[in-house]
């Protein structure tokens, strides 16, 4: 299926056709996830209103956001109802666990590096400058360089 994909101003990458095809194939799940997102957005706005009750301008803005997100929540829920889909929990997507594992790995290596000597800090800085890609790649690059340095191998 070939689609003309809309562009969204704040996205850094265009939406891939593969993602759109997956979304269409799992529209019920997408709608249920959307419902959760709208509810969470309204909830965050309300929580911030409780946290900063004296900040009038902020409370005004958050009131508008909470109202808008609740309207979205209601609209999405109407679509779910039309499709005969009950509101309910969704299984957590796998990317959260993957990201969490990356963060734990980064914490582990940071704790190792905290005990390391100054030259190893220089190596980590070098690796961070070398791998200017997303967090995981920098961490992986740093790990490879630290492994090589611990094993006494060349860094090239």
CA pair distance 96, 90, nearest whole angstrom? 13
* Residue 79 interacts with Fe ion (CB under 5 A): yes or no: no
Out of 36, 39, 72, 148, which residue is the one contacting Fe ion (CB under 5 A)? Answer: 72
Q: Which stretch binds Fe ion (CB under 5 A): 48-56, 65-73, 103-111, 140-148?
A: 65-73
Which position's Cβ is nearest Fe ion?
Answer: 72
Q: Which of residues 23-52 bind Fe ion (CB under 5 A)?
A: 38
Reading the block at residue 74, the tokens are 């209601």
CB 151, min distance to Fe ion, A: 51
Q: Which stretch binds Fe ion (CB under 5 A): 46-54, 72-80, 112-120, 133-141?
A: 72-80
Q: Which stretch binds Fe ion (CB under 5 A): 13-21, 51-59, 67-75, 137-145?
A: 67-75
Nearer to Fe ion, 3 or 64 (CB): 64
DSSP conformation letters of 39-103: HHHHHHHHHHHHH-TT-HHHHHHHHHHHHHHHHHHHHHHHHHHHTTPPP---PPPHHHHHHHHHH
CB 66, min distance to Fe ion, A: 11
Question: Quick count: other Cβ atoms within 10 Å of Cβ 58?
Answer: 14
Long-range contacts of 131-137 (CB under 8 A, 24+ apart): 135/102, 135/106, 136/102
Give the footprint of Fe ion on this chain (CB under 5 A): 38, 69, 72
């Amino acid at each position: 299926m070939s689609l003309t994909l809309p562009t969204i101003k704040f996205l850094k990458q265009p939406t891939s056709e593969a993602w759109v095809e997956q979304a269409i194939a799992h529209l019920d799940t997408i709608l249920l996830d959307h419902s959760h997102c709208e509810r969470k957005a309204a909830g965050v706005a309300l929580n911030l209103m409780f946290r900063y009750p004296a900040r009038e301008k902020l409370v005004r803005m958050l009131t508008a956001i909470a109202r808008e997100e609740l309207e979205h929540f209601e609209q999405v829920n109407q679509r779910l109802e039309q499709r005969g889909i009950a509101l309910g929990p969704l299984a957590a997507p796998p990317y959260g666990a993957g990201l969490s594992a990356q963060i734990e790995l980064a914490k582990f290596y940071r704790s190792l590096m905290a005990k390391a000597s100054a030259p190893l800090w220089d190596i980590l800085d070098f690796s961070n400058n070398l791998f200017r890609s997303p967090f995981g790649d920098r961490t992986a690059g740093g790990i490879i360089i630290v492994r090589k340095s611990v094993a006494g191998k060349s860094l090239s």
